[in-house]
Structure 1
Amino acid sequence: MTTDTTTPTEQNVNTASRPSQLRITDMKITNLVGVPFRSSIIRLETNQGIVGYGEVRDGASASYALLLKSRLIGENPCNLDKIFRKIRQFGFHGRQGGGVCGIEMALMDLAGKAYGVPAYALVGGKFRDRVRCYADTPTELDPQTMGARLLERRSRGFTMLKMDVGINLLRNTPGTLIAPDGAFEDDDLMHPFTGIQVTQKGVEQLAAFVEEVRSIVGYDIALAADHFGHIALDSCIRIGRALEPYTLAWIEDLIPWQFTDQWRQLTEAVAVPTCTGEDIYLAENFEPLLAAEAIRIVHPDPATSGGIAETKRLGNRAEEKGIAMALHLAASPVATMASVHLAAATHNFLALEHHAADVPFWNDLVTGLPNPIIHDGHIDVPDKPGLGFDDVNEELFAEHLDPRAPLLFADTAEWDNEHAHDRLWS
């Protein structure tokens, strides 16, 4: 004879799980390519059968997440703050933050499912029902072609666009660039140290490029610019001033984020919003830029900046300084939906990057969302528990596995017993 141990109240409530008894039992990984770039999808499994999904940042190593597996097994994913404090020390700037952030997304997915609430509810609720997306578009050397590609995105309903405008457009035009031998081949040399200068002819050519693109897409749509090249501050200022007539939404990452004083000088010198932050890990490391009011728009990538809760904290701090927050992203729908919940819960949110406008199968990588996921340039904020999609499409995942690691949610038992003395104090 079986005994029903539930209380009368519980018998009349659809409980998502037993949150206080939930434990992480396993982590599995799938490495995908072309979604739009290389991404590693994390699946955290539990003793109650519910799973949570996260995504390591594009181009990062899945090992950044795997090394944390032994620190997660046995933990209750609903203890979001506790676990984040435990693992945050293992992230860093750029792609090195990808493991911690992908796990944070998966924890949010699990906790939301355990409590039966959407992820945005775990960080204070939502300010909006739809999240505006901006469509990134790769470089075209011809401004007519660039304009046509952007116009096609506008025809899909996007209300904000981004293009690349940089020294790659000048490489074949004599008299536009001054550079030491080999300067263009050394990608690891930071901008102030390359010795590359843009001449007045080069500045005028870039301005003419933007002017022609603007004439095609119109002045009634937001248009941002990125990937200017590894050039020093003085050239950045001259370019920024030349682009003022075209009312750009922002100019992005002209110099490395680490150089706060240079960002302040650039921001004060040009009447175009300045924007950076995609490679900064944790809210505290944005503080120099915010305190100096060195940028007009803060631009974290949630797959580097700390995931949902940490990036919301950053947004709150930026709002106090009068700075809007846009979100950088190049990801599958997994990290995209994590970013949607973050955007919904952040008051000063501006727009979320979409880097997969040319990936035909992108919408089908997850199930249980509207198809297409983006319509009229926006994503509806889902009210389903966790990140809001039902599951991943394993059949489609299998068609896009990284050939260097072609296993679907591969077993990761070799990481079960990885251990070190992690405490940072004696």
Structure 2
Amino acid sequence: MSDSVLTEEHVSTASRPSALRITDLRVANLHGVPFRSSIIRLDTNQGLVGYGEVRDQASATYALMLKSRVVGENPCDLDRIFRKIKQFGHHGRQGGGVSGIEMALMDLAGKAYGVPAYALVGGRFRDTVRCYADTPSLLDPHEMGAKLLERKQRGFTMLKMDVGISLLWDVPGALIAPAGARENLTTMHPFTGVQVTAKGVEHLADYVATVRSIVGYDVALAADHFGHIALDSCIRIGRALEPFTLAWIEDLIPWQFTDQWRQLTEAVAVPTCTGEDIYLTEGFKPLLDAGAIRVVHPDPATSGGIAETKRLGDYAQERGVAMALHLAASPIATMASVHLAAATENFLALEHHAADVDFWSELVTDLPRPLIQDGSIAVPQTPGLGFGDIDEELFRRRLDPRAPEFFADSSHWDAESSHDRLWS
């Protein structure tokens, strides 16, 4: 046989999509990246490996319980597998298993076809993805402004801070609250009985004014974590913050209360924003159909991963609503979000919650370091999610001490079975 003739035994079959099958699903639990993150690894019969990430601080069980539903499947059958498993997700962190597996499927399919994940959902609208730096709250507005200014000097063109009753508990006359309200984080906002007084509203407005005077008006600034307060207090705070041209005010009311969101949006001249705990496009439709928010804010690790959140973005765009992305994750879910953002025309900005985690960019290989430069992430052209591999040594150092095994054997999930069909 001529040396120029290639026979099958001399050709790698690692990119034969039709014969690709998932053979295993394992999870490694990390901590401090910036919170607890469970990294999903899907192995295949062709040596390709796909990575995804469960929503921050969610149970890894949400992914592991799906192992028997995806092993043996061809990861290139993205939509069919997603339709098979999406019934096992829910709002909040319960969407983390389905969403993380979807990211890993996208990683594998992209590698199998030799294309970036964004190509699987329609291609690019942009070459770089703008990030906004979330920053833990500080009681002193001058210290808060200085912290945000440092982010700005690093190149971030959008910032976010917490503004709410966490700043008011020790301010005399700022709040009217029943006993135990400060510790009560399980009662939904309209039912806590907490009211912000005129003095409290003024204190918050002065806080934001001070921060704005430090960071300037040439950078976008959003506000979050207003606390468990009812609609009337939210409206008065929103109106008081109008002079500071905030990018948005976020999650003032639980997302479930569509009509209250509509009332808030109509009452204030500040963009309203929610969505980080909503699962699937269908969960967002009441808010969007009612014109109840100005910015939709899914977390791709809850909302359904890349393709489903792209679908949501398109639905929001038809209703004149921009989409930002909530995220508190490792570079794995971040890169999944970068591909999603690249493919979504009405995208605004991607949250970065790890600006103070010095090793964060090093968790994966073959991407720029630091990953975020001048406040943006370059959209990679390499297959799948775009990074080479994980840094195994660093992963091992960052394993959660409560679950210290590195991609532990998960064979005890192999026999998990159920009659999953939702109809008779």
TM-score class, shorter = over 0.9
| Pairing 1:59–2:61 present | no
Name the counterpart of 1:31. 29
| CA shift for structure 1 position 16 | 5.6
What's the offset of the Cα at 1:220?
Answer: 1.0
Cα 1:15–1:129, aligned 2, differ >3 Å: closer, same or farther? farther
Q: Distance in 2 between matches of 1:50 and 1:247?
A: 48
Q: Give the superposition deviation at 1:5.
A: 4.4
1:320-358 residue CA offsets vs partner (Å, 9 max, x unmatched):
000000000000000000000000000000000000000
Question: Percent identity, aligned pairs only?
Answer: 78
The alpha-carbon deviation at position 4 of structure 1 amounts to: 5.0
Q: Which amino acid aligns with 1:83?
A: I
Map residues 56-135 of structure 1 onto 2, 5 A cutoff: 56-135=54-133
Distance 2:171 2:21 in 1: 61
Q: How far does residue 181 in structure 1 lie from its aligned partner after superposition? A: 0.7
Judge conservation of contact 1:16–1:113 (CA < 8 Å) in 2. no
| Residue 159 of structure 2 is aligned to residue 193 of structure 1 | no
Matched positions, count? 422
Tell me whether 1:320 sits opposite 2:318 in the alignment. Answer: yes
Q: Is the 8 A contact 2:14 2:47 kept in 1?
A: no
Instruction: Give the letter aligned to residue 368 of structure 2.
Output: P
Task: Return the offset for 1:36.
Answer: 0.2
Equivalences for residues 182-331 of structure 1 within 5 A:
182-331=180-329
User: SS at 2:308's partner residue?
Assistant: helix
Q: Which segments of 5 or more consecutive residues in structure 1 lack a partner in the other structure?
A: none
Deviation of 1:185 after TM superposition, in Å, equals: 1.2
Task: Tell me the TM-score normalised to structure 1 length.
Answer: 0.97
For residues 112-143 of structure 1, what are the alpha-carbon distances to aligned partners after superposition, in whole Å with 9 as ceiling and x for unaligned? 00000000000000100000000000000000
Q: Could you say what secondary structure the match of 2:102 adopts?
A: helix
Whether 1:48 and 2:49 are equivalent positions in the alignment is no
Deviations 1:336-384 (A, max 9, x none): 0000000000000000000000001001000000000000000000000
Task: Please list the CA deviations of residues 212-258 of structure 1 after superposition, one character each: whole Å capped at 9, or x if unmatched.
Answer: 00000001110000000000000000000000000000000000000
State the distance in 2 between where 1:254 and 1:416 align.
42
In 2, the alpha carbon distance for the partners of 1:360 and 1:242 equals 37
State the shift of 1:6 in Å: 5.1
The question of whether the paired residues in 2 share the 8 Å contact of 1:192 and 1:231 is answered with: yes
Please give the alpha-carbon distance, in whole angstroms, between the structure 1 residues aligned to 2:70 and 2:401: 28
Residue 409 of structure 2 aligns to a residue whose secondary structure is coil
One-letter identity of the residue aligned with 2:102: E
Secondary structure (helix, strand or coil) at the match of 2:370 reads coil
1:26/1:45 contact within 8 Å kept: yes
1:184: how far off? 1.6
Separation in 1, partners of 2:35, 2:83: 29
Q: CA deviation at 1:309?
A: 0.1
| TM-score, length basis structure 2 | 0.98
Q: For the Cα contact (< 8 Å) 2:13–2:46, is it kept in 1?
A: no
AA of the residue aligned to 1:419: S
Q: Distance in 1 between matches of 2:152 and 2:28?
A: 33
Is contact 1:25–1:45 with CA below 8 Å preserved after alignment? yes
